[in-house]
Structure 1
Amino acid sequence: MPKISDARRDARRNEILEAARRAFTAKGYQHTSMADVIAEAELSTGAVYSYFEGKRDLFAAVARHVLGRRNADLVEAAADGTPPAPADVLQIVLDGVLSEGLDLRLLVQLWGEATVDPEMRDVVNGGVKVLRGAFVTALRRWFEVHPEHAPDGAEVAAEELVPVLMGMGQGFIFQSAMLDGFDRAAYLDGVRRLLPH
């Protein structure tokens, strides 16, 4: 039996992740079964299980996949040599998550699962670590260009602002998912007024 190339293996894995994202978005984590994902992927059971151990592993992989791409968004935003301001950093990440078509309720579900499931907690902490690193890098670059906002240095300023920025992002996600009539634009306008610019 011929081996499939690494590129084809990666493409198949991404197809499964997209199918899982659609299935989880349609039914939520608790109500989605592996059979739902397999049907959405239009693959055999064996094909899906050759990439993922089960629903938890798949849900974690979807979250890592979506969050991992946010670093690339931030790098691209600074490609012209002008680092984005803190509010823009947050907006780039949130716009990227929204552009994935991911139902924000899934992230809230992931956080909820992480409070009672140590493996999901590890997934959340891993995703946050990646995102935190991307935020620190982007903010440090901005503070280097705007030292007037960083009296103790760019690295210190970035490290101090990251938890605040991440909290604002989580607030946006939670309120978008849970509150009817939440005004995303007004929220981001408020963030822009509060953060250094």
Structure 2
Amino acid sequence: MRRIVKRMIRIEGRDAMPKVTEAYREARRTEIADAALRCFAEKGFRGTSMADIIAASGLSAGAIYGHYASKEELFVAAAQHVLSARTVELEELRAEHGPLAPGEIMAALIDGMRQEVITPNLFLQVWAEAAIDPSLREMVHRFLAPARQMLRGLVAEWAAAHPDIAGAEPEAYARRVVPVLMGLAPGFMVQRAILADFDEEAYLATVSALIPR
């Protein structure tokens, strides 16, 4: 009987599947998204296939599709990763300096984005194609929605602290100002991509000073 019990224990131990933790799944998703970013940066969004991403990741097709159904999903995940990093940076600035002026918010956001592997040229490509491709338009909306929400919150906070500039309705002020602020990022990216003499630092300094403290 004792031998039978030991044999059962050995069989159960051998057959038991290791539990996959959420941290492991998130790390794997990040690994796949990073591989996709490298491909997008090298070949552009349209020029990148899922086969390219699979090869760059070193993982199996099953491992990739177990997390992402398409390169569109991967782009959204990568873009959200970029946005998360910018959110952390803005929160650190806010903790150090208090409510950030709208110009400061956008200058910090653009500065962080230009450091990323996912290049401004890639964002320009996707935005341009989104104008004529409904599926890409939906993808861009999914990325921009949390970005707009974050910016509205930060601008409304600053507006509430500066009624002399923003008026008595900070939420209304934020709704008016955020679309203008968001237009500054594509302006930066377009000029950076096509103008050899574009002064990035002067652009960011001017954006920061547009609505001073």
TM-score, scaled relative to structure 1: 0.90
Q: Quote the residue 1:163 is aligned against.
A: 179
Q: Which runs of 5+ in 1 are unaligned?
A: none
CA contact (8 A) 1:68 1:130 kept: no
C-alpha separation in 2, matches of 1:181 and 1:80: 34
Matched, 1:47 2:63: yes
Which one of the candidate residues 79, 83, 86 is aligned to 1:70?
86
Taking only aligned residues, the RMSD between alpha carbons, in angstroms, comes to: 1.8
1:88 aligned partner, one-letter code: E
2:170 aligned partner, one-letter code: A
C-alpha separation in 2, matches of 1:196 and 1:126: 31
Superposition misfits of 4+ residues, deviation over 3 angstroms = none
1:81 to 1:88, Cα distance in 2 relative to 1, 3 A: closer
Partner SS, residue 134 of structure 1: helix
How far 1:163 moved relative to its partner? 0.9
Q: Quote the residue 1:185 is aligned against.
A: 201
Matched, 1:34 2:50: yes
2:145 aligned partner, one-letter code: K
C-alpha separation in 1, matches of 2:39 and 2:162: 44
CA contact (8 A) 1:74 1:134 kept: no
Which one of the candidate residues 136, 139, 144 is aligned to 1:128?
144
Deviations 1:2-32 (A, max 9, x none): 3311110000000100111011101111222
Mapping for residues 84-123 of structure 1, pairs under 5 Å: 84-123=100-139
Specify the structure having the higher radius of gyration (Cα).
2
Q: Quote the residue 1:79 is aligned against.
A: 95
C-alpha separation in 1, matches of 2:84 and 2:126: 16
Deviations 1:103-149 (A, max 9, x none): 11110111022122222211211222111111111111112222211
CA contact (8 A) 2:107 2:207 kept: no
C-alpha separation in 2, matches of 1:173 and 1:29: 16
Matched, 1:154 2:166: no
C-alpha separation in 2, matches of 1:151 and 1:173: 32
Which one of the candidate residues 2, 12, 24 is aligned to 2:40?
24
How far 1:174 moved relative to its partner? 2.2
How far 1:59 moved relative to its partner? 2.1
% same residue: 41
Matched, 1:4 2:29: no
The more displaced of 20-29 and 108-117 is: 108-117
C-alpha separation in 2, matches of 1:26 and 1:89: 29
Aligned residues: 197
CA contact (8 A) 2:76 2:143 kept: no
Which one of the candidate residues 130, 140, 158 is aligned to 2:156?
140
Q: Which runs of 5+ in 2 are unaligned?
A: 1-16
Q: Quote the residue 1:174 is aligned against.
A: 190
How far 1:76 moved relative to its partner? 2.4
Matched, 1:59 2:75: yes
